[in-house]
Each structure stands twice: as C-alpha cells, then as structure tokens.
Structure 1
Amino acid sequence: MTAQQQHLPPVLSTGTDYQALAERFRPIFARIQSGALEREQTRSLPFEQVKWLKEAGFGAVRVPVEFGGAGASLPQLLQLLIELAEADSNLPQALRGHFAFVEDRLNAHASSPQDTWFKRFVEGDLVGNAWTEIGAVKIGEVGTRVSRQGDQWVVNGTKYYSTGSIFADWIDLYAQRDDNGSDVIAVVNVHQPGVKQSDDWDGFGQRTTGSGTSVFENAVVEAENLIDFATRFKYQTAFYQLVLLAVLAGSGRAAVRDITEQVNKRTRIFSTGNASQVSQDVQVQQVVGKASAQVYAAEATALRAAGASQRAYESRFGNNSEAEHTANIAAELESAQAQVVISDLVLRATSDLFNALGASATSTGKALDRHWRNTRTAASHNPLIYKERIIGDWEINGTEPPYVWQIGRGSKQG
C-alpha cells in the first residue's frame, strides 16, 4: 500500500442511521421554522440560523466518519435537506454551493488526500459559490481571471447569483488562468478586503438565500486552492439539481403543513360547502389529500434520483472507468427526469391548496403564497424544456447528456 492510499478512506460515505442523524438537527430545524415567516416578510437574511447549522456540524454530514463527519449517503443528505426546506426552503439552496464543493472533495479523495478540507468542513467552515456572470459575457466565456501578482495568485472579476456566499467562509469560484488559459476553480477565503458581497437578488421567491453579486478585486487565492476544472466531479450538474429538488419537495411539505393548519383553525364556511366545519368538508379533505400525495411522490422521486448520484460517487472509487461512466450518465438523466416531474407536482400542489380556503388565505400576513413563489423560483433555475429534450434525445438516440452547461450572451444582441 502506498502512502497516498493510506490517506484514502477505507469506508466511503455510504450511509448511517438516518433517524439518529436527523434527531441531531430536528430541534434546530424547528427553531429555524419558527422565524421563517417573519424573515420572509422582512426579507431578513438567516445569518443566525446558518450559524446554528454550522455549529451543529450540518455542513459535514457527508464527510466520512473516519474524518469526523457523519458518513451520510446522498439520499440521506437529500432527506435532511428536504426536512430543512420544510422549515425554510431558502436554507438548503443557500448551502447548495457548500455541499457541491464537499462532494467534489469527496470525489477528489479517490486520487489525492483531502484531509485539510475534511478538517475544515468538520470544524464548521462553509463554502459558497460564484460561477455565473451576467452582462456582455458571451456563452462559453468567462471574464473572471486568476493571475500572478508578485509572489501570489489573485482573482479579479464579478459574479452574480452567488447564492449562499454571503454566509460562507470560502467561495468556490469559476475562473480562467491568465498564464495558460485553463479553466479553474479558485477557492477564495472571504475574510479578506478583496472580496465584496451584496445581497441584491431581486427574485419574487427564495428571497433570503443570500444570492447576489460578488466582486473580487485582487482577492488572494493560495496555489493549492487552484483546482483544474477538468477534475471537477462528473455528476456535478445532477448534484446541483438534487438540492433544488429538495427545495421543491420541502416547499411542498411546508405548504401542506400550513394549509392544513389554516383549515383546522377556520370557522367560517360557505353556504355551498358540505359540512358545518371546514375540516369536515369532504371536498376540502380531497384537496389536501391530493396535495399530500403529490408531495409524497415528489419526495420519493427525489430520493430515488439521489440514489443514482450515490452510485456515481461510489463508482469513482471502483477502478472501473466504464462502470463509472455509466453511473454518471444515470445520475444526470435521473436528476433531469426527477426535475421534470417534481416541478410539475409541487407547482400544482402549492397552487391548488388554495382551493381549501377562502380569499382570506391570500392575506400577506399569512404569506401562504411564498410556497408557490419559492417553488416557481427554484423550478426556473434550469429550464425544464431543455431537460425534457435531453432526456428525449437519450431515449431516442442514445445521446449522452451534457455534464457542464453555461449561460451567456448569444451571437445576436439581446
């Protein structure tokens, strides 16, 4: 056995006792839920709530047990994120960049030790993301640059949609090296003057994810934190989508919970109804029952898709490139299939639930519409129409799905 192999985990993160794991965090989830409505109404960022999760070790649940983490599988992580999303759907999305970088370091451990990063995760460090650029940047290009300045590397550029980075200790930044033109991930420590962050996301949903603009002005990055983008874990787009699926399923659970509470409290009835109490009205029961079933199906579908990504992770350590390739295809396709179905299920559930109540349900004081707005926003991140085409192209022609895609200005202005 080589010295390098001795650093590799003898047991991967393949799962733990989920109930015991979840019980660690459920009291925190309950505290998070208790203030979620007020944060929505005042657009207050959940700095304190993120701190609670950090201190409890939430960011390290995927880290192998041998390195101080919980060793959770991807389906177990997704189940936790669904529970967190039910409490406040903004938080799983705010942590999406963190868990993606954790996943990348888990995969990187197949070829080189990642002890330093595992230690940081266990100590509570969080990683945000800054990949997307807006404005004049063309599709396929990146304006953010990493260059040599004296005896150190620095980053210069502006990113948008840097979700969760405002809560983070590090930022997983997509850029290009000036010296050789290669695409890299530069992991930048946020605790330096060269990093400036703004909470200027103006979407109508997911309003407290801490998304917005990040500006890098000669931000220092250590040489060991310049990572060749070509080595990025292959099922990354599938993983990013899985976190959004958790947001959707959790939003659906929250909507069923809140509407059910309103139905049980409601004393006013319609003369056209079916009972002297709204909770006993069979049509109202039907509305809630159907929504509950839709959300159940959404959650079950998300967890099945997470299983495909777990197999892709495990195949990284199997010394079988063909099996790994097949697993990565499955991870991408299953996340896309789940996205198409779950988006439809939860959008319908969060809208149709209003049929169980009267016009009072639209009160801004209740903010029940936030569940639909959050769902619509999360479902809009990766266009469904393109995912449907990619799935169809695979089914008909066997065309392998893309693992990396970008957004930017096309050949025509507009």
Structure 2
Amino acid sequence: MPEIDEAWGSGPTPRYEALAGRFRPIFERIRAGTVERERRRALPHAEIGWLKQAGFTALRLPEAAGGSGASLPELFALLIELSAADSNLTQALRAHFGFVEEMLHTKVPGRREAWLPRLARGETAGSARSEAGEAAQAAFETKLHRRDGHWLIEGRKFYTTGSLYADWVHVATTRAEDGGAVTAVVRRDAPGVAVVDDWDGFGQTLTASGTATFDGVIVQDADLREDASIFPYALPFYQIVHLATLAGIGRAAARDVAEAVARRKRAYSHGAAALPKQDPQVLQVVGRVRGAAYAAGAIVAKVTEAVQRVATEGDSPEPQALAVAEIETAQAVGVVSSLILDAATVLFDALGASAVLREAGLDRHWRNARTITSHNPRIYKERIVGDFAVNGIAPPQSWRVGRV
C-alpha cells in the first residue's frame, strides 16, 4: 500500500512508490519473522541475503553501474520502511551504506572502477572502527605494519556492526611507522580475520555489533586510504541512518499497538467502553504513538534535504552548507529520540499486563530505540546546537570515543 494511503505522507520523489514497491514484499517477509528472531536470537543472515539479491544494498549506485540511482531522500525513506520491519537490519547495513557513499566520491585512481561492480553484485562492507576498554581517542590501537613487503593489520575492534554479515570489513588503523590514520578494506573471510557475535546489549541484539580481531591480516595497497579522504557529508549521513532507524521503530510500535488494541477483548471495569478498540482513552494512546512516528519521519525527510543539498555540491561543498546540514541533523537528534522513546513507553498504557509477555515482543521497540540513542548521546548534540545558536560556533568535525 502506498505510504500516502497509510497517512505517513507522500514519498520524497514522484518515482518513490515505484522504487519502494520493489522492496515492500521483502520488507513484509522480514517483518513476519521479526519477533521470533528476537526471541531466539536468530541472526538475520537470510534476510540480509534477500536484500542483497534484490539490489537494496546497491540502491545508491548509478543505474549505469547496476544500481537504482536512488537519491539520499529516497534512500533514507526506504531505510525508515526497512526499520519498521526490523530495525536490526538497518543498523547492520549502516556501515555498508556509508562505504557506498565513499566509493561514489573517491578520487583514488581505479578505486571506483574496482568497487562499483562488486557493490552492484550485492557485496557489502561492515565496520571495524571503534575500540573498547583502554583505547584512546587520539589514535587507534589497531596497527598497520609493513613487513616482508606486505601491509599487515594487527588489533582488536568492538562495535563491529554488520561485519558478521558482510563480505568485506572496513578497518580503521594507525600506521605504526608514523602514527598516521589509515583505513583498510579486507575480506571478512581472509586469513587472520575473526568476527564473533558477542554483542551483549539489551537492544539491537541481532546486529552482531561485537568483536573483530585481526591477526597479521594482509592488506593490498589498493585497499588502503588515508583517513581524511572520507566523503564530505559523512558525519550527518551516519547520524541520519540512526534517525531513520528510530522513525521506523516508531512506525513499528504504532502498527503493533494498533493491531493489539484491535484484537483485544479484555477490558477494565473502570474503562470507558466494553472493548478497548472503542475506548477513547485507549484510542488516544494509539494516536499519540502514531503521531510521534509521523513527526519523526517528517523530521528525517526534512533533515535529509539539507544533506542532499551538500551532496549535490560535489567533493568540495561550501563549509557553511555543510555546517548547516550538521546542525539540522543535531537539532533532529534530540527531538526524534524523545519522540520515539516516549512512544515506545506509552504504548503499554493502551494494553494490559499481557502486553509485557515476551511472546508479544513489544519491549523490543524501547530496547532498540534506547540502544540507538545511546550511540551518539543526544546531550552533546543539543549542546552543539545551543552553541551554534548562541555563539555561532560551527559543529565539531571529529567524533571519537575513548580515553583522553
């Protein structure tokens, strides 16, 4: 059914419904098993495979290169729909979509020509950037060494979201000889690479956001790049993936609570109707959840326009336009986070105690939203917005976590 008929609003472009129509049957198949996968901790290898085979992971590639030529607004609108089916999958593909943007913008000779055919075939890339424990902010403990004529990676990463499902792993390293920041791409099945599902968070449990180790992994020269060569709008791009995921969680929560109320027969003696679906107070809760999801989606659509403007300026966008895109994104973070966290909490007010049973799976909405909103704390985004509004200070250009 078109989004506009479901009261989620029209798509971002005239062709959006045709584009989305290709993937909605897959989204529905994914949605059908979401609760059961959560209960059994069944990793969605097959479901991500369906998306690869359908060309979803190649959305942003030009049509001439085997993709769909999707704009950023189209991509993020589709990510909202995927997240409404299962937000784990969107999170698991976040690093991949960023990698695609990098390949679309790369100026390294031969790099685009090597990678676009791989991506068109459905190959994907996961992330191995963050480090846990005693790791410092200033430099990665994972090192790139030169030995016997080869570059080798040695180190350990955590929060390696999506890498377990990917064909390639995008690894952030420090070059041992001079301390330079270098990113390498290696095959996930290369000798010395080990990715394990030891993610122990209470939310986004199927993203395999755990540990990856690299033990003397050989890297080809063509698969190395200086860290500074990432695409110019990377910071807001990665944040908007989170926002789209939250908006999708909101839609899933709205759908689930509406369906639960519609079929519920038990009513409280002090309620306002014989059936919950006729109780105006219960209906108000359902409407509040749906309104939050609608508002979140509208905010994502608006902030995506700012990033699209920057993207169309090429590899050297105006600093002011980039700063504005980042501020718009930061402004959205606090509001969307609050909307969806609240919606995922109040939905239980429309139901009875049976709604908290594990088989219902309704707790996943809050757990998943709370986990996503913890990745890049909203308190800092709100401070950055305030500093811009009061003092005219541009947003920072570095996001790292670790010991100072």
Secondary structure (helix, strand or coil) at the match of 2:402 reads coil
Alignment of 1:191-270 (within 5 A): 191-270=189-268
The structure-2 alpha-carbon separation of the partners of 1:110 and 1:299, relative to structure 1 and needing over 3 Å to count, comes to: farther
Between the aligned partners of 1:342 and 1:372, the Cα distance in structure 2 is 13
Between the aligned partners of 1:59 and 1:324, the Cα distance in structure 2 is 29
**AA of the residue aligned to 1:361:** A
**AA of the residue aligned to 2:284:** Q
Report what 2:185 is aligned to.
187
CA contact (8 A) 1:110 1:316 kept: no
**AA of the residue aligned to 2:231:** F
Alignment of 1:117-156 (within 5 A): 117-156=115-154
Report what 1:328 is aligned to.
322
Secondary structure (helix, strand or coil) at the match of 2:312 reads helix
The structure-2 alpha-carbon separation of the partners of 1:16 and 1:50, relative to structure 1 and needing over 3 Å to count, comes to: farther
The structure-2 alpha-carbon separation of the partners of 1:326 and 1:191, relative to structure 1 and needing over 3 Å to count, comes to: same
| Residue deviations 1:326-377 (CA, integer Å, cap 9, x gap) | 2211221111111111000011111111111111111111121110111111
How far 1:110 sits from its partner (Å)?
A: 9.7
CA contact (8 A) 1:126 1:168 kept: yes
Report what 1:65 is aligned to.
63
CA contact (8 A) 2:103 2:111 kept: no
CA contact (8 A) 2:139 2:181 kept: no
CA contact (8 A) 1:94 1:163 kept: yes
Between the aligned partners of 2:254 and 2:312, the Cα distance in structure 1 is 35
Alignment of 1:281-296 (within 5 A): 281-296=279-294
CA contact (8 A) 2:194 2:213 kept: yes
How far 1:146 sits from its partner (Å)?
A: 1.1
CA contact (8 A) 1:205 1:377 kept: yes
Between the aligned partners of 2:21 and 2:45, the Cα distance in structure 1 is 22
Q: Which runs of 5+ in 1 are unaligned?
A: 1-13
How far 1:303 sits from its partner (Å)?
A: 1.4
| Residue deviations 1:151-195 (CA, integer Å, cap 9, x gap) | 221111100000000000111111111233210111111121210
How far 1:234 sits from its partner (Å)?
A: 2.5
Secondary structure (helix, strand or coil) at the match of 1:184 reads strand
How far 1:202 sits from its partner (Å)?
A: 0.5
Between the aligned partners of 2:55 and 2:108, the Cα distance in structure 1 is 23
Between the aligned partners of 2:79 and 2:247, the Cα distance in structure 1 is 9
Alignment of 1:162-181 (within 5 A): 162-181=160-179
Secondary structure (helix, strand or coil) at the match of 2:403 reads coil
Alignment of 1:7-406 (within 5 A): 17-108=15-106, 114-316=112-314, 321=316, 323-406=317-400
| Residue deviations 1:34-59 (CA, integer Å, cap 9, x gap) | 11111100111100101111111111
Between the aligned partners of 1:304 and 1:345, the Cα distance in structure 2 is 16
Between the aligned partners of 2:156 and 2:73, the Cα distance in structure 1 is 34
Between the aligned partners of 2:93 and 2:370, the Cα distance in structure 1 is 19
**AA of the residue aligned to 1:358:** G
Between the aligned partners of 1:149 and 1:310, the Cα distance in structure 2 is 43
| Residue deviations 1:206-233 (CA, integer Å, cap 9, x gap) | 0001110000011111101111111112
Between the aligned partners of 1:284 and 1:300, the Cα distance in structure 2 is 25
| Residue deviations 1:4-30 (CA, integer Å, cap 9, x gap) | xxxxxxxxxx97821111111111111
| Residue deviations 1:224-269 (CA, integer Å, cap 9, x gap) | 1111111112221211111111111111111111111110111011
Between the aligned partners of 1:90 and 1:113, the Cα distance in structure 2 is 30
Q: What do you get for the CA RMSD once the two structures are aligned?
A: 1.6
**AA of the residue aligned to 1:118:** L
Between the aligned partners of 2:62 and 2:107, the Cα distance in structure 1 is 11
The structure-2 alpha-carbon separation of the partners of 1:70 and 1:15, relative to structure 1 and needing over 3 Å to count, comes to: farther
Report what 1:407 is aligned to.
401
The structure-2 alpha-carbon separation of the partners of 1:387 and 1:371, relative to structure 1 and needing over 3 Å to count, comes to: same
Between the aligned partners of 2:395 and 2:36, the Cα distance in structure 1 is 41
| Residue deviations 1:57-114 (CA, integer Å, cap 9, x gap) | 1111011122121111111111111101010010000000000111112222598761
| Residue deviations 1:264-313 (CA, integer Å, cap 9, x gap) | 11101111111111111111111111111111000110111111111111
Deviates more, 1:118-127 or 1:135-144: 135-144
**AA of the residue aligned to 1:257:** R
Between the aligned partners of 1:226 and 1:343, the Cα distance in structure 2 is 36
Between the aligned partners of 1:350 and 1:142, the Cα distance in structure 2 is 36
Given the two structures, how large is their TM-score scaled by the length of structure 1? 0.92
Between the aligned partners of 2:308 and 2:145, the Cα distance in structure 1 is 36
Secondary structure (helix, strand or coil) at the match of 1:259 reads helix
Between the aligned partners of 2:174 and 2:49, the Cα distance in structure 1 is 32
Runs of 4+ in 1 over 4 A off after TM superposition: 109-113
CA contact (8 A) 1:140 1:407 kept: no
Q: Which runs of 5+ in 2 are unaligned?
A: 1-11
CA contact (8 A) 1:189 1:221 kept: no
Secondary structure (helix, strand or coil) at the match of 1:141 reads coil
